């Protein structure tokens, strides 16, 4: 059932985000109207968060709002696109200020950071579900794709891996951590992923293929390899682990989380060896950290330290 609550839209969602010059009509009409700059392609992505599936029940409304937009920004980051607008489909059990205020605050904090405008959406009653559709731009023909990896490409990831997976164990009380700083850090990594938009943009001239890590490194890396029947050789010592992972859990558990746990929203990408130095120079100058974790191989399957693990780790599967 629709909530005929224009006051809700006006109060919480209208005129709360930066305004963009490409927007001719935003919230309020039957549809939004935008222009696409010359020689640019429109890049579109959509992601849904369902309570209990994509975030634990105790997640704060602020974090839910933040994450709903972050996961979409991450998809545009993986495409090397500049985010511009987004739309919000909100299904709520009830319309409550105590929920809507912090939810929109989380959503709009990130919208402001990335200078993107909310241009429309839909509001309905039902089990808590948040869908964001995001739109951005990339110069025609220049967007990064999952396809394009080549044998001998170096495989890189941004940031550190496995933190959100550890955060989920803590959030769902499957694990308790003694170090409160480490606990705070991994929960932050779970609830406030940092979409790597700037890095995605810088990778455009260098990367042969790219993806964001939502389902776990093994699962998402295989999306770069399988279309070309390629494989990979990874070194487990090369996996970037945060201080929280390094100091609070056994190393083998940390590595397993880094390989398999989802929700980190880091980027995984491949680059030809001859472009590597130029790429690293550019990233270092901008103080972005990336780590080389292995090499693309003509031999199918993923090997960690020489052992084939392709069947062991399938990532998060909904069905
Ligand atoms: P319609 O009945 O034509 O679908 P709606 O009542 O759903 O219109 O929406 C009215 C306006 O408010 C539209 O411009 C729509 O895009 C916008 N809108 C509705 N829900 C949201 C939301 N949750 N966030 C942002 N904009 C919204
Ligand atoms: Mg509508």
Ligand 1 atom with the shortest distance to the CA of 27 = 14
pLDDT tens string 28-75: 999 999 999 999 999 999 999 999 999 998 899 999 999 999 999 999
Q: What is the pLDDT of residue 319?
A: 53
Quick check: 3 pLDDT over 50?
no
Quick check: 16 pLDDT over 50?
yes
Ligand 1 atom with the shortest distance to the CA of 123 = 20
What does residue 25 show for φ and ψ, rounded to 5 degrees? -145, 125
Predicted TM-score of the model (pTM): 0.94
What does residue 64 show for φ and ψ, rounded to 5 degrees? -60, -45
Q: Looking at the CA of 17, which ligand is closest? A: 1
Count of positions (residues) in the chain: 319
Residues with C-beta less than 6 Å from any ligand 1 atom:
9, 13, 27-30, 88, 90, 118, 120-123
Q: Which residues pair with 10 in a beta bridge?
A: none
Percent of the chain with pLDDT over 90: 91
Q: What is the pLDDT of residue 5?
A: 62
Q: What is the pLDDT of residue 2?
A: 42
Q: What is the pLDDT of residue 317?
A: 52
Please give the Cα distance from 224 to 211 (Å, whole number): 7
């Amino acid at each position: 059932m629709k909530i005929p609550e224009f006051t809700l839209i006006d109060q919480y969602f209208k005129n709360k985000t930066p305004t963009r010059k490409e927007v001719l009509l935003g919230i309020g009409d039957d549809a939004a109207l935008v222009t696409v700059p010359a020689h640019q392609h429109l890049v579109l992505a959509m992601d849904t968060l369902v309570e209990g599936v994509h975030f634990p029940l105790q997640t704060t409304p602020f974090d839910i709002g933040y994450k709903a937009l972050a996961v979409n920004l991450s998809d545009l980051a993986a495409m090397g696109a500049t985010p511009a607008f987004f739309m919000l489909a909100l299904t709520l059990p009830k319309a409550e200020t105590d929920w809507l205020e912090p939810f929109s605050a989380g959503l709009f904090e990130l919208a402001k950071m990335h200078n993107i405008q909310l241009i429309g959406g839909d509001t309905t009653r039902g089990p808590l579900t948040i869908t964001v559709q995001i739109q951005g731009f990339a110069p025609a023909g220049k967007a990064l794709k999952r396809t394009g990896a080549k044998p001998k490409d170096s495989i890189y990831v941004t940031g550190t891996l496995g933190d959100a997976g550890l955060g989920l164990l803590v959030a769902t009380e499957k694990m308790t951590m003694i170090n409160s700083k480490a606990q705070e850090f991994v929960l932050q990594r779970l609830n406030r992923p940092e979409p790597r938009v700037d890095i995605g943009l810088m990778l455009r001239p260098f990367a042969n293929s790219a993806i964001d890590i939502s389902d776990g490194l093994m699962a998402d890396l295989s999306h770069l390899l399988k279309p070309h029947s390629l494989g990979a050789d990874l070194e487990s010592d090369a996996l970037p682990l945060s201080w929280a992972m390094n100091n609070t859990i056994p190393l083998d558990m940390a590595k397993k989380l880094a390989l398999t746990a989802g929700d980190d929203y880091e980027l995984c990408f491949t680059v030809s060896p001859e472009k590597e130095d130029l790429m690293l120079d550019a990233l270092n100058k901008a103080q972005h950290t990336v780590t080389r974790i292995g090499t693309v191989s003509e031999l199918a399957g993923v090997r960690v330290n020489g052992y084939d693990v392709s069947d062991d780790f399938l990532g998060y599967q909904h069905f």
